[in-house]
Amino acid sequence: MKLSFRWYGSDDPVTLNHIRQIPNMHSIVTAVYDVPPGELWSRDSIAALKQEVESAGLHFEVIESVPVHEDIKLGKPSRQQYIENYKENIRRLGEAGIRCICYNFMPVFDWTRTQLDKELPDGSNALVYYKEQLEKMDPLTGELSLPGWDSSYTKESLAAVFAEYNKITEEDLWENLRYFLSEIIPVAEEADVKMAIHPDDPPWPIFGLPRIITCEANVDRFLKLVDSPYNGLTLCTGSLGCTKANDMVHLVDKYSAMGRIHFMHVRNVKILDDGSFEESAHFSACGSLDIVAIMKVLYQNGFDGYVRPDHGRMIWGETGKPGYGLFDRALGASYINGIWETLQKLG
Ligand SMILES: [Mn+2]
Q: Output the pLDDT for position 230.
A: 98
User: Is 69 noted as a catalytic residue in this protein?
Assistant: no
Burial 62-95 (b: 16+ CB within 10 A, else e): bbbbbbbbbbbbbbeeebeebbebbbebbebbbe
pLDDT band at 96 (very low <50, low <70, confident <90, very high): very high
* Amino acid identity, position 276: S
Name the active-site residue from 103, 324, 328, 335: 324
* Sign of the C-alpha dihedral computed for residues 341, 22, 256 and 243 taken in this order: positive
Q: How far is CA 33 from the centre of its chain?
A: 15
Name the active-site residue from 71, 200, 253, 310: 310
What's the gap in Å between 299 CA and the centre of ligand 1? 20
Q: Output the pLDDT for position 312.
A: 94
CA 233 to CA 205: how far, in whole Å? 20
User: Is 265 noted as a catalytic residue in this protein?
Assistant: yes
Region 100-127 average pLDDT:
92
What's the gap in Å between 198 CA and the centre of ligand 1? 7
Q: Is the per-residue pLDDT at 145 higher than 70?
A: no
Could you tell me which residues come within 8 angstroms of residue 163 by beta carbon, excluding any fewer than 6 positions away? none
Whether residue 325 contacts residue 312, with contact meaning beta carbons closer than 8 Å, is answered with yes
**Which among 202, 197, 290, 292 has a CA at the least distance from the CA of 242?**
202
Name the active-site residue from 236, 262, 282, 286: 236
In tens, the pLDDT along 32-54 reads 998 999 999 999 999 999 999 99
**Which among 330, 147, 129 has a CA at the least distance from the CA of 241?**
129
Name the active-site residue from 103, 201, 311, 328: 311
Q: Output the pLDDT for position 134.
A: 85
CA 161 to CA 157: how far, in whole Å? 6
pLDDT band at 138 (very low <50, low <70, confident <90, very high): confident
What's the gap in Å between 201 CA and the centre of ligand 1? 8
pLDDT band at 143 (very low <50, low <70, confident <90, very high): low
Q: Is the per-residue pLDDT at 148 higher than 60?
A: no
Q: Output the pLDDT for position 146.
A: 63
**Which of helix, strand or coil describes residue 127?**
strand
User: Is 324 noted as a catalytic residue in this protein?
Assistant: yes
Structural domains of the chain sorted by starting position, each given as residue range(s) with its CATH number in brackets: 2-346 (3.20.20.150)
* Amino acid identity, position 18: H
Q: Tell me whether the omega of the peptide bond preceding residue 202 falls within 30 degrees of 0, making it cis.
A: yes
What's the gap in Å between 8 CA and the centre of ligand 1? 15
